């Protein structure tokens, strides 16, 4: 993986944002839509998945979701790949474009998490319908609170609600930031609803082990 990541662009000489399109060779037909970039990167497409040097892009994103340089180079490479395919291949490209859009969405979502962490001091990550603050699954904590509504648990969730409130006060304009913010608003509203429940159980000796410190 290290050699492939090196080729991915950690040491690109031309810079993160620089790109040059390869010369067009129209009417080529290859089901994997291969593209060999000038950075020793081989991009391919197969069954709805984009791969770079035989590694699926989705796996690279998951493995490096906190590395902004890798993510930016991925974004640049995906854009180059899309442009090359659209200029050089005569085939139905709807599924290919959808796969590229999904990969770019995953990249930008990870970049948003890094940006939010830097600007708010909170490590935030979004996975499907779950939101993680400082590596803690807030949705799971809310479910636990519904089962065991204690004062300590309520105080813990209140801390997360306040942190989310600070993040949501920041002005964001990027479309991917807006999507992330909408999901955070949903979690924030659910937190407020859960916290409206009055604690009915107080067993600090048990909850201290379950919740730790905020």
76-81 average pLDDT score: 92
Q: What is the pLDDT of residues 109-150, one digit of tens each?
A: 777 667 666 556 666 776 666 777 777 788 888 888 888 888
Residue 124 region by backbone torsions, left for phi larger than 0, else alpha for psi between -120 and 50, else beta: beta
pTM of full prediction above 0.75 = no
- Check pLDDT > 80 for residue 81: yes
Query: What radius of gyration do the chain's Cα atoms show?
Result: 22
Domain chopping of the chain, boundaries: 2-119, 122-211
d(CA 71, CA 111): 7
From 64, 116, 59, select the one nearest 126 (Cα to Cα): 116
- Check pLDDT > 50 for residue 102: yes
Give the residue carrying structure tokens 């790949």.
81
Q: What is the DSSP letter of 174?
A: S
41-56 average pLDDT score: 94
d(CA 40, CA 53): 9
For residues 89 and 193, which has the higher predicted lDDT (pLDDT)?
193
Q: Are 51 and 33 in contact (CB under 8 A)?
A: no
């Amino acid at each position: 993986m290290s050699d492939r990541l090196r080729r991915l662009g950690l040491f690109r000489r031309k810079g993160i944002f620089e790109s040059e399109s390869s010369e067009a060779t129209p009417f080529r037909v290859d089901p994997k839509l291969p593209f060999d970039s000038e950075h020793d990167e081989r991009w391919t497409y197969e069954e709805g998945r984009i791969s770079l040097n035989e590694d699926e892009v989705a796996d690279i994103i998951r493995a490096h979701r906190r590395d902004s340089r890798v993510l930016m180079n991925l974004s640049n490479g995906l854009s180059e790949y899309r442009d090359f395919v659209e200029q050089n291949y005569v085939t139905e490209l709807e599924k290919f474009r959808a796969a590229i859009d999904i990969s770019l969405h995953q990249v930008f979502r990870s970049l948003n998490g890094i940006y939010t962490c830097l600007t708010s001091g909170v490590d935030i990550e979004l996975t499907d319908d779950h939101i993680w603050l400082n590596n803690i699954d807030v949705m799971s904590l809310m479910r636990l609170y519904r089962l065991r509504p204690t004062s300590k648990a309520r105080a813990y969730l209140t801390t997360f609600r306040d942190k989310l409130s600070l993040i949501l006060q920041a002005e964001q304009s990027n479309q991917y930031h807006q999507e992330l913010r909408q999901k955070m608003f949903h979690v924030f509203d659910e937190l407020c609803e859960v916290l409206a429940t009055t604690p009915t159980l107080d067993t600090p000796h048990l909850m201290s082990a379950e919740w730790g410190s905020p």
